[in-house]
């Protein structure tokens, strides 16, 4: 009863920030994302009578009690579905810094879900896996299906899941992730979601959502990169406006973040088709065309304060793999 899964992080172009149902973890709006090829989590889960309690370990990271409990709660969900009582050992590793807004909870809970379900002997389809992953961390449901993904907010737990809109090869774009901070953020996204209602701009954000979702889906369908990029960039700023104006205020951006934002506007004026998006952290995702990778990297390297660059292509979703971590 051992299985291992590899799950990508994902970057949302239309973001999930705030929930309409806290208990069921139903997001306030639908969201749209792309899986990232070079930032991922690998997790091995083994259920065995040999364990006297759940053992959870994250390679290269100290885990606090709260994080451990969140993982054990998820194992309980899997055990309930599989009707087993056996304890498990979980070993997990990320190939990127955790807790810096590179969606570590998304890849983490997607990998835990797929490995845990497989190890438990349960047979679930992609939709059921996405629903289960969502209960661990909302955005994790989007790391389950392949490529460009839509998460339908739904009106019940069973209707809130993600599905593929387009396969990974649909658009010739890359996500160049500029890392400016590797430290764990002070306010987690889990906490941030509960603060949205305190921002005076939150209502305006939600009321514009339907139209924005329709437009970005049309731009994706038409492979209209300019419209797609413009909507994505404005959406990221919209979400961060809500963050900065909630109570307490959340400032994820650093001076380096702002430096990149301003540079992107300049580069665009120089003719480079490039847009940014930012999750719950200071690191910046630069979205550009495959053929403009070199030009972007050359420019990016001139900016002060960049600690790392990761070039991501659109990727598959979460898959089981045969190499176990233990
Ligand atoms: O799934 P969570 O609770 O980590 O929330 C993710 C929130 C954002 O990354 C900021 C937006 C998103 O849709 O990925």
Residue 62: predicted pLDDT: 83
pLDDT in tens, 185-196: 788 888 999 999
Residue 49: predicted pLDDT: 96
Residue 100: predicted pLDDT: 60
* Pocket residue to mutate for ligand 1, from 7, 13, 16, 130, most atoms within 8 A of Cβ: 16
The residue behind tokens 């492979």 is 223
pLDDT in tens, 22-78: 888 899 999 999 999 999 999 999 999 999 999 999 998 888 899 999 999 999 999
Q: Which residues pair with 178 in a beta bridge?
A: 284, 309
Distance CA 148, CA 32 (A): 7
Residue 60: predicted pLDDT: 83
User: 280: CA distance to ligand 1 center in Å?
Assistant: 7
Closest-lying ligand 1 atom to the alpha carbon of residue 16: 13
| SS3 assignment for the chain | CEEEEEEEEEEEEECCCCEEECCCCEECCCEEEEEEEEEEEEEEEEECCCCCCCEEEECCECCCHHHHHHHHHHHHHHHHHHCCCCCEEEEEEECCCCCCCCCHHHHHHHHHHHHHHHHHCCCCCHHHHHHHHHHHCHHHHHHCCCCEEEEECCCCHHHCEEEEEECHHHCCEEEEEEECCCCCCCCCHHHHHHHHHHCCCHHHHHHCHHHHHHHHHHHHHCCCHHHHHHHHHHHHHHHHHHHHCCCCCCCCCCHHHHHHHHHHHHHHHCCCCEEEECCCCCCEEEEEEHHHHHHHHHHHCCCCCCCEEEEECECCCCEEECCCCC
Ligand 1 in reach of 135 Cβ (< 6 A): no
Contacts of 206 (CB under 8 A, 6+ apart): 18, 28, 29
The fraction of the chain above a pLDDT of 70, given in percent, is: 98
User: 62: CA distance to ligand 1 center in Å?
Assistant: 22
Residue 313: predicted pLDDT: 98
User: 51: CA distance to ligand 1 center in Å?
Assistant: 33
b (16+ CB within 10 A) / e for 100-137 = bbbbbbbbbbbbbbbbbbbbbebebebbbbbbbbbbbb
Ligand 1 in reach of 151 Cβ (< 6 A): no
Q: Which residues pair with 27 in a beta bridge?
A: 19
Ligand 1 in reach of 108 Cβ (< 6 A): no
List the residue whose alpha carbon is closest to atom 14 of ligand 1.
12
- Nearest-5° Cα angle at 26, 23 to 29: 150
pLDDT in tens, 271-303: 999 999 999 999 999 999 999 999 999 999 999
* Pocket residue to mutate for ligand 1, from 279, 282, 283, most atoms within 8 A of Cβ: 279
Please count the CA atoms within 13 angstroms of the CA of 140 that sit on its side-chain side.
29
Residue 63: predicted pLDDT: 86
- Of 52-61, 146-155, 172-181, 183-192, the least confident: 183-192
Maximal CA-CA distance, the chain: 63
Q: Cα-flanking dihedrals φ and ψ of residue 301, to 5°?
A: -65, -15
pTM of the model: 0.96
């Amino acid at each position: 009863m051992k299985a291992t899964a590899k799950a990508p992080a994902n970057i949302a172009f239309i973001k999930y920030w705030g929930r309409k149902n806290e208990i069921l973890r139903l997001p306030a709006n639908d969201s749209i994302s792309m899986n990232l090829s070079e930032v991922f989590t690998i997790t091995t889960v083994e259920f065995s009578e040999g364990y006297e309690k759940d053992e959870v370990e994250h390679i290269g990271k100290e885990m606090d009690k709260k994080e451990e409990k969140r993982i054990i709660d998820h194992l309980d969900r899997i055990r309930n579905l599989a009707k087993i009582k056996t304890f498990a050992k979980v070993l997990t590793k990320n190939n990127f810094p955790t807790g810096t807004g590179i969606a570590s909870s998304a890849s983490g809970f997607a990998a835990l879900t797929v490995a845990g379900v497989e190890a438990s002997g349960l047979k679930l389809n992609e939709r059921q896996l996405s629903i289960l992953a969502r209960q661990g961390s909302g955005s994790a449901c989007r790391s389950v299906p392949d490529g460009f993904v839509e998460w339908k907010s739904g009106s019940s737990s069973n209707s809130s899941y993600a599905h593929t809109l387009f396969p990974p090869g649909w658009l010739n774009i890359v996500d160049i992730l500029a890392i400016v901070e590797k430290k764990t953020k002070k306010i987690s996204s889990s906490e941030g979601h509960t603060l949205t209602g305190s921002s005076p701009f939150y209502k305006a954000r939600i009321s514009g959502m339907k139209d924005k979702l329709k437009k970005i889906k049309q731009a994706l369908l038409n492979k209209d990169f300019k419209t797609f990029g413009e909507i994505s960039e404005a959406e990221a700023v919209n979400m961060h406006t809500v963050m900065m104006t909630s109570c307490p205020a959340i400032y994820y951006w650093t001076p380096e973040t702002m430096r990149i934002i301003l540079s992107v506007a300049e580069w665009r004026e120089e003719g480079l088709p490039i847009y940014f998006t930012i999750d719950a952290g200071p690191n910046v995702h630069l979205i550009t065309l495959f053929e403009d990778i070199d030009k972007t990297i050359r420019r990016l390297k001139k900016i002060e304060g960049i600690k790392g660059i990761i070039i991501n292509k659109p990727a598959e979703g979460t898959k089981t793999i045969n190499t176990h971590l233990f």
